[in-house]
Structure 1
Amino acid sequence: MTTRMTPDELEKERAPGRILGRGPLGFSRRTWPFIKVLVGNWLFALVYYVTVKQFIVTWEPVSWTVADRLELMIKCSILALAPAVVGIAIVAAQRLNPDMWVGQRPKPNSALDVNTRFVLNTIEQFILFLVGLSGVALFAPISEADSIPILTSLFLLGRVLFWIGYHKNPYLRAFGFGITFYPTVGVFVWLILLMAFGIRLPI
């Protein structure tokens, strides 16, 4: 037979959670470092994008036809996928090393295991990035065509930092993941605002 707890008893049960730092949003003290990394991702990506767009890249295509848009998108997509191609080549070579295996599976946290995860994550990220990049190429005016190579450079930087960080410590991959993923989220927000509500923000 179960007994119903009194309000005072419930309060005592909640007390340890409060000591650990859990708040109304369910965050604990262990969560805050990841929140800080998340905010850092946003700030870094924003500062990088604005700085490169305003002060470094001054390129504008001569023409901006459908063929020009498609050409630029394909070129940037090839560059964005280059880390995955390199990773696949490395994984293929590492698979020949018997020390990398435990039975029929890669040894946990081995270079083969990390590189395999990197390749899979990069391909997943690339699918989202490609869809977003296609939307930008379709809807962006010629004056904002430079956003496509800038977004590509940010994607590449994120993948490299993710790869390096993953090999040093799995937690260090978070920053590279963030500056790969969250700019893509920003692109999707831009596209949804434009397509669904007719709101065209500068990009």
Structure 2
Amino acid sequence: MTQRSDDRTVKMGMLLGFLGTIVVFISFYSFLPQVAEEVSLVERLKLGIMCLVFPVTLFFLMIVRVGSQRFGNLSADPTKCEANTEGMKVDLRVLSNTHEQLMIFAINILALSALMPYQFLSLLPIYSGVFVAGRVIFWVGYRRNVLWRAPGFAMSTLPAVIGVGYSCVAVLLAAFESV
């Protein structure tokens, strides 16, 4: 494989991830029930916290996966051997990247739960599901062929970029309204 071919594979994967994310958001938003009236901040934050349950569960399963691979070999002491197989090295990288992504996701989902107009709150569970699906696709892709992680990465990155961007604008607008 050449660098040009690898770049094309990654670009195609990112494009598929972006398009898939948009299709999933639009489809599910069209079919899921919408929030019909304004809800309290407590209810909004409750929804945000509920949307964290499955992403955190996936993260916990990744931790268990890595931990279970340490039993009975040199990597039981990670100060001497971080990973004893290539698969474990990949799992550690996925775990690290998912930790980074989960931090962004958690802050983002809580900010969006407080800042979004109530009519769009049904996007939050969709975001949670897309995040989990993206992380699983990232993990499976990484284990099969490192270049195939791109669709999963795109699925967890595109909503994060949009959500953080929206939250920044909403916070700035609120700050200028009070001045």
Q: Is the 8 A contact 1:61 1:145 kept in 2?
A: no
Match of 2:132 in 1: 156
Q: What is the alpha-carbon root mean square deviation over aligned residues?
A: 2.5
Match of 2:68 in 1: 93
Most deviating of 168-177 and 36-45: 36-45
Structure 2: distance between partners of 1:48 and 1:100: 40
Shift of the alpha carbon at 1:197?
5.2
Higher helix share: 2
Aligned pair 1:124/2:97, yes or no? no
Once the two structures are superposed, what CA deviation does each residue of 1:117-136 show, in whole Å capped at 9, x if it has no partner?
22111110011111211221
Shift of the alpha carbon at 1:167?
1.6
Q: Where does 1:38-77 land on structure 2 (aligned, <5 Å)?
A: 38-54=14-30, 56-60=31-35, 64-77=39-52
Change (3 A) 1:174 1:140: same
Change (3 A) 1:113 1:31: closer
Q: Is the 8 A contact 1:100 1:112 kept in 2?
A: no
Higher relative contact order (CA 8 A, sep 6+): 2
Q: Is the 8 A contact 2:10 2:147 kept in 1?
A: no
Q: Is the 8 A contact 2:75 2:81 kept in 1?
A: no
- Which of residues 149, 165, 173 is equivalent to 2:149? 173
Shift of the alpha carbon at 1:37?
2.3
Aligned length: 171
Match of 1:106 in 2: 83
Could you state the TM-score of these two structures normalised by the residue count of structure 2?
0.83
Unaligned runs of 5+ in 2: 175-179
Could you state the TM-score of these two structures normalised by the residue count of structure 1?
0.74
Change (3 A) 1:28 1:161: closer
Shift of the alpha carbon at 1:67?
0.9
Shift of the alpha carbon at 1:38?
2.2
Unaligned runs of 5+ in 1: 1-19, 21-26, 199-203
Structure 2: distance between partners of 1:108 and 1:185: 34
Q: In terms of Rg, which structure is larger?
A: 1
- Counting aligned pairs with the same residue, the percent is 21
Structure 1: distance between partners of 2:66 and 2:36: 38
Match of 1:81 in 2: 56
Q: Is the 8 A contact 1:80 1:152 kept in 2?
A: yes
